[in-house]
Amino acid sequence: MEFLASISPLFIALTVGGTFVGIIFGSIPGMTATMAVAVCLPLTYSLGLENGLGLLLGLYVGGISGGLVPAILLGIPGTPSSITTTFDGYPMAQRGEGEAALRIGIVSSLVGGLISLIALYFFAPALADFAIAFSYVEKFLIILFALTVMAALSSDMLMGIFSGFLGIFISLIGAYSIQKGGNGELRLVPPGTEYWLDSGFSLLPVLIGVFGLAAILEEAAIGMPKGQTRDDVKIEGARNFNFSVFKGQWINTLRSSSIGTFVGILPGVGGSAASILAYSNAKSFSSHPETFGKGEPAGIIASESGNNGLTGGALVPLLSLGIPGDATTALLIGAFTLQGVQVGPLFIGNNPATWDAMIFAMLLANIAMFIMMFYAIRWFALVVTIPKHILFPIILMMCVIGAYTINYGIMFDVWTLLIFGIFGWIATKIGIEIAPFIIGFILGPAAEIYFVKSIESFGDLTIFFTKSWIAIILWVLIAASLIGSAAMARKRQRMGAHEEDL
Amino acid sequence: MDSITQVSIEFSRSHLVFPTLIACILGLLGLSIVATRWRKIAQTGPYMTDIFAKMDKPRLFGTLALTLIYFMAMVPVGDIWPNTGRGFLICSIPYVFLTGLLFMHDRTLRNSLPLIVMALIAPTLVWYLFTELFFLTLP
């Protein structure tokens, strides 16, 4: 109960306020939960770790949940994780069941969030206890496994792996850190840039660039689509929400939440994969799959419980292994770094109060999300009408503030933001996958230390295979993820060729 | 067998081991991408031309140009009043207003009024929050 000391009125206000702002970010197409966390990260400086995490976790839960509003009312996913919500939510809204569809999504989001929270509470400490015994060899293999899983689940495996390794390569720019056991020598630094690149590119300006600035550049490139007017948003209709819609849907809800949680635990795999997997499973197991895509409530239940199931799951690898479960939790590493706390197997044991406060913040954020959205959905529906030409310039300014203040006032960090904002925008055009790139960038320096120190200690490459039974299992998992992905790619190719023949 | 797998790393050159390895892997992956997708890569020219033709050039390049000017002006303006964060404040107000105007579709005075108000309030509020409450340095 030590954590009760950190549960202040400010903590509660920040978590609930974060959830509120997160819902607004999620509700506006083009703005995501990741962007919300990126923009608000600098605000956590002077808040302390628990209060800062309360705000960011609220933004995360609210941001993922808010995506259902435009998905249902406009047929445009507010966040990538609500793509499958549009399939059935929008047809329901078109036939005058918008409010019912929204409330089905909100209840499913709550259930998904709570189930994943239970999984987080029990699974993360167990995994951390197990991981404490890992040597550099197993830690290196875990990172390799994380990268292969991410690459395997990318739309193009080869490009996914390339993106991950590119992220690692960029992260190695600068000095080989003496604090971490390196020799302090510079590498990959172009002549004349030693002063700025001594410590390489800072993590947070890179993250804010690829998730904040790049998203706004993309919106500018597509002509900053006009916002919606009040006339476009009609949620009242003939059919009201009734909990009886969940009758016979509990298995679907539980299965989809579990799928979301499991996908969240896989490193670097985002909410869109969670909701797509949950949706396709719900459709396969349904006794009337032909109704999916035509306004079937079970489709919304699967999609929304799946993407909110991700929230707790994605925190499991972060808090037990130090590996982010998705892009948004990658940003949470930034919050820990700002407060000088390292996440990894020792985190929960060494910071029990922070761990309990995080669980409480997630619970509070889920409940606050439910109460706010369920009872004030008509008001939140109007959020989609906020003009982007007012919001986006302010977000751009917040990105600059975040980048500048991250290292207490270094202008090079602002230029880093611009460089990676442009890179993030171009990357999507040439097939580079941002999630593996970022996870590679975050884990690259640790992977280097673990790899080099393993060889320095054992002097033999076979140690990566012979160190322990865990190493062997990890190699089996790495091989399985690559083989499975190659098989899936071949199946997709064959199906494509078959369709072309037809 | 032992001689093939045994490796020793000289501490003074240890900073080059991992970057070299990753560069080699990237090179191999790059070659595999070229080998398996050369048809797609050959069509990059028309693909890029198509992207360029469809993009909203004034908004995209306007945003980039305004952002560049904003970043370049912040420090020199801030140096006039050192350690006050006024460089940020003075540059952010026109930046928020001009990018907002660039993003706006129907540029009428009526539509611009909320933007003008926000362009004045938001940077001032953020400047006050960071310099007066958080005591963080702004340019």
In the predicted model, is pLDDT for residue A61 greater than 90? Answer: yes
Q: To the nearest 10°, the Cα dihedral for A215, A217, A220, A226?
A: 20
Average pLDDT, chain A: 87
Confidence of residue A386 (pLDDT cuts 50, 70, 90): confident
* Tens digits of residue pLDDT in A401-437: 888 877 778 899 999 999 999 999 999 888 898 888 9
Confidence of residue A495 (pLDDT cuts 50, 70, 90): low
Contact A220 B62 (CB under 8 A): yes
The residue among A107 and A81 whose pLDDT is bigger is A107
- Rounded CA-CA distance A214/A2 in Å is 41
- Rounded CA-CA distance A93/A41 in Å is 35
Q: Residue for token digits 């407060």?
A: A339
* Tens digits of residue pLDDT in A263-286: 888 876 666 788 888 998 898 888
Residue A201: the pLDDT is 93
Contact B9 A452 (CB under 8 A): yes
Q: Residue for token digits 């997709």?
A: A492
In the predicted model, is pLDDT for residue A174 greater than 80? Answer: yes
- Rounded CA-CA distance A467/A473 in Å is 11
Contacts of B122 in chain A (CB under 8 A): 394, 397
Tell me, yes or no, if A441 comes closer than 8 A to chain B by beta carbon.
Answer: no
Instruction: Tell me what percent of the residues of chain A surpass a pLDDT of 70.
Output: 94
Contact A186 B70 (CB under 8 A): no
Q: How big is the CA angle at A116 (ends A114 and A122), to the nearest 5 degrees?
A: 105
Instruction: Tell me what percent of the residues of chain B surpass a pLDDT of 70.
Output: 99
Task: Give how far Cα A303 sits from Cα of A77, A254, A263, A284, Å.
Answer: 12, 12, 13, 14
- Rounded CA-CA distance A125/A120 in Å is 8
What amino acid occupies position A42?
P
Count of Cβ atoms closer than 10 Å to residue B137 Cβ: 17
> Measured on CA atoms in the order A209, A415, B90, B64, is the torsion positive or negative?
negative
Q: In three state form, how does the secondary structure of A122-180 look?
A: HHHHHHHHHHCCCCHHHHHHHHHHHHHHHHHCCCCHHHHHHHHHHHHHHHCCEECCCCC
DSSP letter string, B88-133 = HHHHHHHHHHHHHHHH-SS--HHHHHHHHHHHHHHHHHHHHIIIII
The residue among A117 and A379 whose pLDDT is bigger is A117
In the predicted model, is pLDDT for residue A501 greater than 90? Answer: no
Confidence of residue A454 (pLDDT cuts 50, 70, 90): very high
Contacts of B65 in chain A (CB under 8 A): none
The residue among A220 and A237 whose pLDDT is bigger is A220
Residue A94: the pLDDT is 83
- Rounded CA-CA distance A345/A324 in Å is 13
CA B38 to chain centre: 30
Q: Which of A328-332, A437-441, B96-100 has the highest mean pLDDT?
A: B96-100
* Tens digits of residue pLDDT in A290-307: 889 888 999 999 999 999
- Rounded CA-CA distance A417/A420 in Å is 5
B9 neighbors A456 (Cβ within 8 angstroms): yes
Confidence of residue A497 (pLDDT cuts 50, 70, 90): low
Confidence of residue A167 (pLDDT cuts 50, 70, 90): very high
Contacts of B22 in chain A (CB under 8 A): 165, 168-169, 172, 444
Task: Give the helix/strand (H/E) hosting A215.
Answer: helix A214-221
Residue A396: the pLDDT is 92
Residue A2: the pLDDT is 64
Instruction: Tell me what percent of the residues of chain A surpass a pLDDT of 90.
Output: 41
Question: Taking residues B85-105, what's their average pLDDT?
Answer: 95
In the predicted model, is pLDDT for residue A384 greater than 50? Answer: yes
For A222, the token pair is 């597509």
In the predicted model, is pLDDT for residue A502 greater than 50? Answer: no
A402 neighbors A208 (Cβ within 8 angstroms): yes
* Tens digits of residue pLDDT in A466-477: 888 999 999 999
Among all residues of chain B, which has the CA nearest to that of A414? B71
The SS3 of residue B13 is: helix
For A208, the token pair is 């804010």
Contact B55 A405 (CB under 8 A): no
Contacts of A455 in chain B (CB under 8 A): 7, 9, 17
Contacts of B23 in chain A (CB under 8 A): 169
Put simply, whether the predicted model's pTM sits higher than 0.90 gets the answer: no
- Rounded CA-CA distance A177/A97 in Å is 58
Residue A491: the pLDDT is 75
In the predicted model, is pLDDT for residue A48 greater than 50? Answer: yes
Question: Taking residues A443-448, what's their average pLDDT?
Answer: 91
> Which residues numbered 225-264 in A keep a CB inside 8 Å of some CB on B?
226
* Tens digits of residue pLDDT in A127-165: 999 888 889 999 999 988 888 887 777 778 889 899 999
* Tens digits of residue pLDDT in B5-48: 888 888 888 999 999 999 999 999 999 999 988 888 888 888 88
Nearest to A218 by CA among A432, A423, A436: A423
Residue A410: the pLDDT is 87
In the predicted model, is pLDDT for residue A49 greater than 70? Answer: yes
Among all residues of chain B, which has the CA nearest to that of A160? B29
> Which residues numbered 72-101 in B keep a CB inside 8 Å of some CB on A?
74-75, 88, 92, 95-97, 99-101
What amino acid occupies position B28?
L
